[in-house]
Structure 1
Amino acid sequence: MGAGLSSVVGSEGAGVGLGLGDLPEGCIAEVLRRLDPPDICRLVRLNKTFLDAGSSNFIWEEKLPTNYGYLVEKMLEGEEKAEEGSGAIIEKLGTFLKKDVYALLCRRNSFDGGNKEFWLEKSTGGICMRISSRALSITGIDDRRYWNYIPTKESSFGVFAYLLQIWWLEVRGEIEFSFPQGTYSLYFRLHLGKPSRRRGRRNYITDNIHGWDLKPVRFQLSTLDGQEMQSKAYLGEPGVWSYYHVGDFVVKPSDEVTHVRFSLLQIDCTHTKGGLCVDSVLIEPKGLRQDNIYCA
């Protein structure tokens, strides 16, 4: 019956409680390596033994993407360290624990002059990315009769492009990036009506909203390796930031750069349209986003 008890007898005959901290650190590390990063992060809070085991490099080496050296270069882009070259950067990474490298990649890392940001998604191991409206090619963007950039706290970039009125709407962008293997979804983050605040309460101005119920907006996506997708959607639900699904693309096992082009078009010149906010483009592992999605 003693085998079923929750205590064991010590070498001196006294009853000693057996806790999780008494397990060998190597055994704990082998268990942790089989878990997803969010589960590892929860378990290392149990005690010091779990914390030490959870810092083992071999655990986090398996969690890091194979191209993490490239990702760190992007993370350091614009900083003095980026000038050292990839070899020096990777060599310097050798002085860091792999869990620290992983943690750095999971934060939001800006590049391309602050107009783009990426982060490692913990549950899938894929990359999420946002591309600011300032990094997009927008017809008429420099003419204030058509477009304005509006400062806001509702965008991670602190600004969005606001359309007053235009006949020909064309928003295009592209990204060259080494994504880890997987299937990725691409979205435009849009808002009908100009967001505002009055007496501390959020509101939105509807005066310029027009033309979106007459013809759908056309979305396009293509990659350099021949993947192509098209979709159409009527813009709806004013006052809410919504994600319009453009399409998906597949990244095969490779450290090569993936080249993606995408666009938003409404070029029917029989009517004007206006009152649209273009915040950003979002790329993330397929199936991750569940809220405020519009699909064709």
Structure 2
Amino acid sequence: MGANVSGDRSDCDGDSPSTSYRLRLGDIPESCVALVLMRLDPPEICNLARLNRAFHGASLADFVWESKLPSNYGFIVEKVLQDTTLFNLAKRELYARLSKPNSFADGTKVVWLDKNSGGVCLSISSKALTITGIDDRRYWSHISTEESRFRTVAYLQQIWWFEVGGELEFQFLVGTYSLFFRLQLGRSSKRLGRRVCNSEHIHGWDIKPAQFQLTTSDGQQASNKCYLDNPGNWVLYHVGDFVIRNPNVLTKIKFALTQIDCTHTKGGLCVDAVLIYPSSLKKEVTTCLQG
């Protein structure tokens, strides 16, 4: 059967009550097993694939994994990753490949599928953001770190006018999405194998709150104000949510983080990335990516 199994359901019909009770688990036709697996989540499918040969064969069926792939996977493969060779993969292999971080835009952006739900997630590096003064080493610098998916973050020493912004155009699935900035007060490093945080430049963030904003091409807006705190720890700051109702069009998202009160300077901030997740994953995301 494998990846080329058809959706023919005739194998499931015709068993009389007098014979069906004699069937063992391994005697169930793969096509019947595959129809059951279609109703399960990807981790459950993988677990059941270990039961026996029939379940393993059914777990490889293309039509099972086609039902788990997001409906916009063609857009992701062809327009975002620009790698049409991925269409040659079996659907199970394609799902596994898309569930891993896939870089695009010269490595400054990443897209992947949540392994459990198939939801589309995105991350945008600080290098893909528009940052006021980023080219002036008196204010900003790019520093290497293992604590970022992109292996680098933008570090602010001191500035009067703080403004970070960016945009993304993407074909989202129907649903509600949450957008976050991942930030840290202080500059972390390792010393003698232990994580330490340099806080010498942290100042100004407790005087006035930072302003977070997002807008969409179909007119949605969201904003949030809060003081940046918790030095030495990565924090996901929730900018807001937006809703996708039409999955067949491109939606442009614009977002910004500002603190432009020029009565005082502010500094000692690391800007890692902007993240976009299905809102149903918000709790899971904030637990994994903070700290």
TM-score range for the pair, normalised by the shorter chain length: 0.7 to 0.9
1:121 to 114, 126, 131: 114
Structure 1 position 155, deviation (Å): 0.5
Verify the 8 A CA contact 1:166 1:272 in the aligned structure 2: yes
Match runs of 1:141-152 below 5 Å: 141-152=134-145
2:161 to 159, 165, 168: 168
CA distance in 1, matches of 2:246, 2:30: 33
Structure 1 position 20, deviation (Å): 2.6
Q: Give the counterpart letter for 2:198 in structure 1.
A: I
CA distance in 2, matches of 1:32, 1:99: 13
Answer yes or no: is 1:69 the counterpart of 2:62: no
Residue of structure 1 in register with 2:90 after alignment: 97
1:254 to 247, 250, 262: 247
Residue of structure 1 in register with 2:13 after alignment: none
Residue of structure 2 in register with 1:5 after alignment: none
Answer yes or no: is 1:25 the counterpart of 2:25: no
Equivalent pairs, count = 266
Deviations 1:160-194 (A, max 9, x none): 00000000000000001112221110000000000
Q: Give the counterpart letter for 1:64 in structure 2.
A: L
Structure 1 position 118, deviation (Å): 0.4
Q: Secondary structure at the match of 1:51?
A: helix
With normalisation by structure 1, the TM-score equals 0.85
Residue of structure 2 in register with 1:221 after alignment: 214
Structure 1 position 121, deviation (Å): 1.4
| Structure 1, gaps ≥5 residues long | 1-9, 11-16, 83-88
Verify the 8 A CA contact 1:126 1:181 in the aligned structure 2: no
Verify the 8 A CA contact 1:207 1:275 in the aligned structure 2: yes
CA RMSD of aligned residues (A): 1.9
Answer yes or no: is 1:274 the counterpart of 2:275: no
Q: Secondary structure at the match of 1:289?
A: helix
Deviations 1:123-152 (A, max 9, x none): 333211110000000000000000010011
| Structure 2, gaps ≥5 residues long | 1-18
With normalisation by structure 2, the TM-score equals 0.87
Residue of structure 1 in register with 2:59 after alignment: 54
Verify the 8 A CA contact 1:243 1:292 in the aligned structure 2: no
Residue of structure 1 in register with 2:5 after alignment: none
Q: Give the counterpart letter for 1:258 in structure 2.
A: T
Verify the 8 A CA contact 1:74 1:111 in the aligned structure 2: no
Answer yes or no: is 1:285 the counterpart of 2:290: no
Verify the 8 A CA contact 1:75 1:109 in the aligned structure 2: no
Residue of structure 2 in register with 1:203 after alignment: 196
